[in-house]
Amino acid sequence: MVKYDPFVAQDFIYEVANWKLYCNSVLSCDYSLNALSFQQCEPFRNLFDMGVEILPYVHQGVSNPVIGAFPLFGWSALVREIVGDTNYVVPSEIKGKLHPIRLYVKNWLEQEGNVLDETLDVKIFREKLQDIYDLVDITYDI
């Protein structure tokens, strides 16, 4: 269990919102893009640069079936980039399957101890994460 850090939480929510906005804008332009398109952007790099300290916050994201499905396989790629290919290996039988990968990321983070202590602050964090996710989940023209 990891202690909640309001500064990391705030930065995490900010970058997730930017990541979501970026993905929305890319999807509105080209639906044929692959999952790598969502990893080759500044918000993804910023989340990566935050390092292992964001893994418990990623766990909060993937614990939510709606947020955990965004972006296509992005959470799994983010964890792999942060911890390295040798430490995080998605089983071949679930590759390309969104729901099983979301559950794999969630369970892997739990097994590695990357879970926030359940406090009122964490509950508020989840609400803020959901709110910002809902806020930027609007369709708009570019």
Span 13-43, pLDDT tens digits = 999 999 988 888 876 665 555 667 778 899 9
Buried b / exposed e over 5-37, threshold 16 CB at 10 Å, is beebbebbbebbbbbbbbbbebeeeeeeeeeeb
Any idea where the domains of the chain sit in the sequence?
6-135
**Biggest alpha carbon distance in the chain?**
42
pTM of this prediction? 0.88
Q: What is the pLDDT of residues 59-102, one digit of tens each?
A: 999 998 888 777 667 899 999 999 998 999 999 999 888 889 99
pLDDT at 62: 92
What radius of gyration do the chain's Cα atoms show? 14
Residue 112 DSSP class? T
Q: How far apart are CA 4 and CA 121, in angstroms?
A: 7
DSSP state string for 22-73: HHHHHHHH-TT--GGGGTSSHHHHHHHHHGGGGHHHHHHHHHSHHHHT-STT
Give the CA angle between residues 108, 110, 111 to the nearest 5°: 65
Number of helices and strands (H, E) in the chain? 7, 0
